Amino acid sequence: MKTRGRLSVSHLVSDNDLTPADVALILKTAVAMKKAHRAGRDKPVLRGKVLGMIFQKSSTRTRVSFEVAMLHLGGSALYLSANDLQLGRGETIADTARVLSRYVDGIMARTYAHSDVEALARFGSVPVINGLTDLLHPCQILADLLTIHERRGLLKGRRLAYVGDGNNVAHSLMIGCAKAGMQCVIGAPRGYHPRPEILVQAEEAAAKTGGSVEVVVDPREAAEGADVLYTDVWASMGQEKEHEARKKILAPYQLNAALVARARKDCLVMHCLPAHRGEEITDEVVDGTHSVVWDQAENRLHAQKAVLALLMGGDVPLS
């Protein structure tokens, strides 16, 4: 069986770009591609195609997973550091997008400013994928939804509780869960809540799918009865000077055994990595029986293969 391999959009810049049907198609494609890979039957649907990868931020999972994804799909990936490109300095982002579009078949960018990825999509003529910005992390959340689907089946109605800083991962979780018809609760201290405009986007999406989005201050309230508990680092890249202050404020939001006890007995524990063990999550929890952290990390590969194939390819095999 094959699908025509087309999303409703030409780029993946924001989680909000995707319709619920797009999310479902990506997950269905990722499941099929993961199964095919494990059986040694990868389909080279991107044979001869090149992905240009722009990195302003260092990376382990993003760089390796995208490079391996392109290899599995029959294409290749070109690593481009911000120093190599002088992105937004010696040459405008618009001109960079125009030039790269003449060389490569797709662009993945991991930047600080979300507007940089938006500009690449606006001025380029090839698909652009957001590998992470300070505002959003859509590829991570697609991997997370894939992981939950593998473990629990139907996503609709599941309750995911995120505790900690209302950062880019929290933003994407809110929108991504809403698109899947899930209940998403963010537990964060005042001053660290998600951005209001992202909350509005998530609420609008949830209203169409039967999901819900809520922001609370008490982490225990957020965790109560959750199917999934999720956290992330307290100081993201570029916030290193705030680390000590953030540790004090966010300490009550640590994902530990006491918080896990408030969730469902079969809850899943998630972290997008890298983890600062002993800070936002304890060793006991990240290495415990509830943890699916390593499945999440692996599923970055499979979810991104699906995104790459659907945006850059033609017919994508689903069986």
What is the set of active-site residues? Answer: 110, 137, 140, 232, 272, 300
pLDDT in tens, the chain (319 residues): 344 568 999 999 999 999 999 999 999 999 999 999 999 999 999 999 999 999 998 888 999 999 999 999 999 999 998 777 766 567 889 999 999 999 999 999 999 999 999 999 999 999 999 999 999 999 999 999 999 999 999 999 999 999 999 999 999 999 999 999 999 999 999 999 999 999 999 999 999 999 999 999 999 999 999 999 999 999 876 677 788 999 999 999 999 999 999 999 999 999 999 999 999 999 999 999 999 999 999 999 999 999 999 999 856 656 5
Residues of the chain with CATH 3.40.50.1370: 2-136+300-317, 140-296
- The count of other CB atoms within 10 Å of the CB of residue 20 is 16
Residue 65 and residue 61: Cα distance in Å, rounded?
Answer: 6
Q: How many residues can be counted in the chain? A: 319
Q: Which amino acid is at 251?
A: A
CATH superfamily of 2-136+300-317: Aspartate/ornithine carbamoyltransferase (3.40.50.1370)
Residue 213 belongs to what H/E stretch? Answer: strand 212-216
Dihedral of the alpha carbons of 303, 301, 155, 179, in degrees to the nearest 10: -40
Q: Whole-angstrom Cα distance, residue 177 to residue 313?
A: 26
The pLDDT assigned to 235 comes to 85
Alpha carbon distance 19, 46 (integer Å):
24
Fold of 140-296: Rossmann fold (3.40.50)
